[in-house]
Structure 1
């Protein structure tokens, strides 16, 4: 309540669509009274509260930006989860802490990015965090987006989640790696290849097996570096289960 700058319990209860007495019972940890799934949804979707923290106490309470907006993936403040490495190699198999690490919780955003070169229309006001991932080695600015389309198959499958790390300078491209890229009215997952012209970038699709009229369905596209509005390196892939 303090973090979200609510002045009174009543204003906080109204925001959560609760009776003030119910909120007081939650604060007092009254037996049989807890935070409902509906309240959790309001906290997460409207105020970007880290539900993992709410349920376990791990990490930070909120990843809301200083501006109060939870829809700008350019200003992500990622909570962390405290992971203790356990050593069970002793003869008595007693676990003990050998090292403590802070792993960032990666926010998962609900808008899809296309694997094919097609326009993706979304209202930024509808962009919400739908969950979090704990990925060792991820950075505090990392975030996750779902994939739409088949042009990057088999590397990226339709429906897979991709963990991305923002790149500040388009000149820092690691050629041959897969990136999430925004340019013009498009946002895509593509493998970036160097062009003979240093000012250009080739957007390559891994799926070269699908052919239309004797030609690859997903042909490479060449764009100007200066047209890139956002660039993020793909660091992890969570493929959709096969059930």
Structure 2
């Protein structure tokens, strides 16, 4: 049985129609008609969209179809030539973002009373903190309730095309906290384009002066089931 056949078996198990599957992931309607193995890019996209699907089962047929773990951790991949060093042991504070006035205050203070808990995952790049995601702008890569682990940075050190946690000033007293891909803007060097994973959210060009805080997303944690 090829990996495409295993996808059909998974869809039958979950009660997902072939049309919905192809439409949601942007695949051709004929994608599921063959019985061969799929490419790595398509397999990664399927595994990101359906986090309960076992990668080992999809690619090899071994083990259970549905993940036995309750939690999945995804380290964000990068095409950059530079590689971050991995830390065998680090405790990452999980902050309560609702307890602070904004992202800049969180970055500058880091006071203990704003820490809900700590996260300890071996062999991760250096992270400064973690918060829970709200909204669906990065769905299906991230969904509301996922935890993102970040490394604070400055705009001068930005890697265009990467995913960032950032705070955008709407006015003198209000800011918008979001997770987006940051890309170069056609409006010039003083602007950046914020792009969502969710196609229902339109890209937006903003002036760099409106970015009050910035952090590179290093990893994400998703709880697949509470049972």
> What TM-score do the two structures reach when normalised by structure 2?
0.50
CA radius of gyration, larger in: 1
Which protein is richer in helix relative to its size?
2
| Bigger relative CO (Cα 8 Å, ≥ 6 apart) | 2
